[in-house]
Amino acid sequence: MLDLDWSALWLSLKVAGWATAINLVLGVALGALLARRRFPGRELLDTVFTLPLVLPPTVLGYYLLVLVGRNGPLGAWLQDSFGINLVFTWQAAVIAAAVASFPLVFKPARAAFEGVDRQLEQAARTLGVSEVALFFRVSLPLAWRGILAGLLLAFARAMGEFGATIMVAGSIPGQTQTLSIAIYEAVQAGNDGRANVLVLVSSLVCIAVLLLAARLAGRSGGSRHDVA
């Protein structure tokens, strides 16, 4: 019963890795922006960015399908300008996973930046540090612990993404069939042997992520700057 091809696992890791990398950039940047800048519609924007956490994944999947589909505004533009077709590709699975897990990076990032002592930032400014250097050398290191926790949760969420993924990426073995979808199909087809193996693999990966999260949290906790 170990005629398992590992493509589903590798694909899931690849998709979750890319989604987390995208969210590291976007989630941290937008989290910092909303924590530090005051502008009209800020809380509305926060609500929009948090929506994927509470919306049913099928709603996300439908939005994405309508948006990036061949006849969707973004999909048609990509097709006409670059000949790119996203639907049924692993990149579509990355988009689905990134959108679904975005709030898990954005929310903790915003909270972490809001928790950074502004006096430390002011002190750096008085020492003539540029705004960019201030962000990377003061604010980000101080907020990092909170962001890291969010990133690991987001990675786990991206690994488990199912509803939106199956709508925009389909289920092509070796190309877009992630671990979650492979498990679903194995159960649907009554292939319990394959389902058992995949479920076990999935559980082990999640346990590993959680152990890693605990270890990283412990380590960064030891070298944490005392901001009190």
Partner 1 sequence: MKRFWVLLSLLLALPAAAAGLTVSAAASLTEGFREIASAYQDAHPGTQVHLNLAASGVLLQQIARGAPVDVLASADEATMDRAQHDGLIDPQTRHVFASNSLWLVVPLASTAVPAALDELTGDGFKRVAIGHPDSVPAGRYAKGALEQAGLWEALQSRLILTQNVRQALNYLTRGEVDAGFVYATDAHTVREHVRPAFQAPVEGGIRYPLAMVAASREPEEAQRFIAFVRSEQGQAILRSHGFGNP
In whole angstroms, give the CA distance from residue 120 to residue 89: 46
> 134: burial class by Cβ within 10 Å (0-12, 13-18, 19+)?
middle
Least CB distance from residue 167 to partner 1, whole Å? 9
Between residues 124 and 187, which has the closer beta carbon with respect to partner 1?
187
Between residues 71 and 119, which has the closer beta carbon with respect to partner 1?
71
Least CB distance from residue 6 to partner 1, whole Å? 19
Do 149 and 213 meet the contact criterion of CB atoms below 8 Å apart?
Answer: yes
Site residues (CB under 8 A) for partner 1? Answer: 65, 69-71, 87-88, 166, 170-173, 185, 187-191
Six token digits for residue 218: 């412990």
Helices marked H in the chain? 7-36, 42-54, 57-68, 73-82, 90-114, 118-126, 131-134, 140-160, 163-168, 179-188, 192-222
Between residues 190 and 222, which has the closer beta carbon with respect to partner 1?
190
Least CB distance from residue 190 to partner 1, whole Å? 5
Supply φ then ψ for residue 130, to 5 degrees: -70, 165
Between residues 8 and 147, which has the closer beta carbon with respect to partner 1?
8
In whole angstroms, give the CA distance from residue 158 to residue 220: 23
In whole angstroms, give the CA distance from residue 153 to residue 213: 8
Least CB distance from residue 178 to partner 1, whole Å? 14
CA 90 to centroid of chain Cα atoms: 15
Do 219 and 144 meet the contact criterion of CB atoms below 8 Å apart?
Answer: no
Least CB distance from residue 63 to partner 1, whole Å? 14
Between residues 141 and 170, which has the closer beta carbon with respect to partner 1?
170
Least CB distance from residue 187 to partner 1, whole Å? 7
Between residues 154 and 195, which has the closer beta carbon with respect to partner 1?
195
